[in-house]
Structure 1
Amino acid sequence: MPDADSRHGPLDPAPDAGWTDARPRMGFFTDTSVCIGCKACEVACKEWNDVPGSGLDLLGMSYDNTGALTANSWRHVAFVEQPRPAAPAVDAPGSSAAAGPQFLGMPGARPPGRDTGAQTRSDFRWLMMSDVCKHCTHAACLDVCPTGSLFRTEFGTVVVQEDICNGCGYCIPACPYGVIDQRSGDGRAWKCTLCYDRLGAGLTPACAQACPTESIQYGPLDELRERAAHRVATLHERGVPQARLYGHDPTDGVGGDGAFFLLLDEPEVYGLPPDPVVTTRDLPRMWKRAGLAALAMAAAAVVAFVGGSS
């Protein structure tokens, strides 16, 4: 596990994990501004990775029948409905009360006190996003796995080896994004592998290969970050000031993500944590303190024993 100090700066995770022949770090850039919600990525992921079907589960959330990333949904296309902003309410003469815009879709989708651009919108819109494991630079799931089932690949991605997983479930609460899940009737942890088998053969991951609008883009992470920054600048020039990147910053709480996104609203609207932090960041300090406490207790016991003998 990286020490606490290394968590505050950029890191190439594959060499840090011991790969002497590490490849360029590969990842996903998902541009939600061109996602059409076709779910081709979900289908391609299931077909290539032989992920069990989830069945038809009508969740009451528009066309989103998967609901979230799970052991049986390694890609999840979120549908967020945003009706047109409501007209100001007139409660009484001189009243300045106004009924704010109502946001449907993801629970808790309206971050309080933040300008999401609704004031400049005049019509209904859909927000769609194909979510996936973030393949964090500082992956807490790796820190807590007791069997080595989770490992860092030479491409910088994070993969679960299902034949080694013992189903302990430690990785599930460790993930700051809530990505990892245990399969019912199986007990083992499952998530996106970024199609590790395809990467080794020089192929594009199945979801990116199937995406008809190039909303999901795959490639060297450094190139994707440059491409994403250019795309955000273009959208700003076209009058979309709400366009922003999420998970691209190598100095954030997880050291940046191997799968990052262009969003058209606040992260919470899409069901993403606004400021994710690696959940094991304090472990080195905790172990150090525990060790010092154990040494102090041992020293006290020796002193007591020696004193009692004399």
Structure 2
Amino acid sequence: MTDRNLLSGPEPEPARDAGHPEPPERVGFFTDTSVCIGCKACEVACKEWNAVPEDGMALSGMSYDNTQGLGASTWRHVAFIEQRVPAPEGRTELPLAGNTQPDPVTPPEAASEDAATPGELRWLMSSDVCKHCTHAACLDVCPTGSLFRTEFGTVVVQEDICNGCGYCVPACPYGVIEQRPDDGRAFKCTLCYDRLGVGQEPACAKACPTESIQFGPLDELRERAALRVDQLHEQGVEEAHLYGHDPEDGVGGDGAFFLLLDKPEVYGLPPDPVVTTRDLPAMWKHAGTAALSLAGGMALAFALAGRKRGTR
């Protein structure tokens, strides 16, 4: 069943809308990037539990980020983003949340008092994953039913049903889904559907040593995230904000949302994601109208042709 819900009105219930009559609470992930240490324990746990093939074994020499992005064989991806932060006026260092290290090029004692002098080098680290969108375009375009909405509100690919058509790949506004080159089938995070079914949390959240990845009922996670943002603001980290939590955004809110310390595009996330199939109902309506008009025109043409033959 596809997600053809309108992006307005009361917040939808994806599992119920997908045909689950009495679903449990919707669950998901809240990833607090301010405490991510880039250990990649989540990547390893995901691969081990889900038997995901190896990926990203070759280091580029440009970054510690060996996996580079989400894909068919990388369902969790820890991004490493280096930033040289300008020092505020009158200071040579800038207090930061998260992980920092001294500037290796310009030590504080040698830094100029100029406000434009670079301050510390900070790492922005974030464990990315499928967003399990409220309005999931991948569900809309899948012709075989390989993609389905679970009773927990998550989105899962059934690899034994996938025919490798690839329609879901461009449909995803986040670029999460990818096909494996050896057989063409699509793969992505299942939010450990098999573990959820027996009351366990996903492997990545279980393995996270800093609780950067938090799992639970989505409503509770949203409340917890809002409190965390307030806490960081009180500590002077004004750039802290949430991404993907708002049910009024272009995908109806994400089942996996994030606390970020910079703009979404810095982390490789679209600033304003929109469900790519939002215009499908109107398109089908216009196509139906055009088909009826064409059929009517053809019927009229045949009728006129028959009348002409009858008058001869």
Q: Structure 1 length as normaliser, TM-score?
A: 0.87
Partner deviation per Cα, 1:5-53 (whole Å, 9 max, x = no partner): x222421100010101211000000000000000000000000000001
Rounded Cα–Cα distance in structure 2 between residues aligned with 1:15 and 1:53: 36
Q: 1:166 to 1:210 in 2, by over 3 A?
A: same
Q: Equivalent residue of 1:7, what SS?
A: coil
Aligned to 1:30: 31
Q: Equivalent residue of 1:275, what SS?
A: coil
- 1:19 paired with 2:16, answer no
Q: 1:189 to 1:124 in 2, by over 3 A?
A: same
Aligned to 1:85: 86
Alignment of 1:171-190 (within 5 A): 171-190=168-187
Once the two structures are TM-superposed, the CA of residue 207 in structure 1 deviates from its matched residue by: 0.0
Alignment of 1:1-310 (within 5 A): 1-3=2-4, 6-9=6-9, 10-85=11-86, 122-310=119-307
Where does structure 2 lack aligned partners over 5 or more consecutive residues?
90-114, 308-312
Instruction: Report the more deviating stretch, 7-16 or 75-84.
Output: 7-16
Instruction: Report the more deviating stretch, 52-61 or 232-241.
Output: 52-61
Root-mean-square deviation over aligned CA pairs: 1.8
Once the two structures are TM-superposed, the CA of residue 2 in structure 1 deviates from its matched residue by: 4.2
Once the two structures are TM-superposed, the CA of residue 83 in structure 1 deviates from its matched residue by: 1.4
Partner deviation per Cα, 1:97-151 (whole Å, 9 max, x = no partner): xxxxxxxxxxxxxxxxxxxxx9898321000000000000000000000000000
Aligned to 1:91: none
Letter in 1 for 2:42: C
8 A contact 1:70–1:179 mirrored in 2: yes
8 A contact 1:235–1:243 mirrored in 2: yes
Partner deviation per Cα, 1:173-229 (whole Å, 9 max, x = no partner): 000000001112121000000000000000010000000000000000000000000
Letter in 2 for 1:67: Q
Once the two structures are TM-superposed, the CA of residue 309 in structure 1 deviates from its matched residue by: 0.9
Partner deviation per Cα, 1:63-104 (whole Å, 9 max, x = no partner): 10000001110000000000132899xxxxxxxxxxxxxxxx
Rounded Cα–Cα distance in structure 1 between residues aligned with 2:249 and 2:56: 37
Once the two structures are TM-superposed, the CA of residue 307 in structure 1 deviates from its matched residue by: 1.3
Q: Which has the higher contact order (CA 8 A, sep 6+)?
A: 1
Letter in 1 for 2:158: Q
Task: Determine which structure has more spread, i.e. the larger CA radius of gyration.
Answer: 2
8 A contact 1:61–1:79 mirrored in 2: no
Q: Equivalent residue of 2:162, what SS?
A: coil
Rounded Cα–Cα distance in structure 2 between residues aligned with 1:278 and 1:182: 20
Rounded Cα–Cα distance in structure 2 between residues aligned with 1:267 and 1:166: 33
Rounded Cα–Cα distance in structure 1 between residues aligned with 2:281 and 2:195: 35
Q: Equivalent residue of 1:224, what SS?
A: helix
Q: Structure 2 length as normaliser, TM-score?
A: 0.87
8 A contact 1:59–1:67 mirrored in 2: no
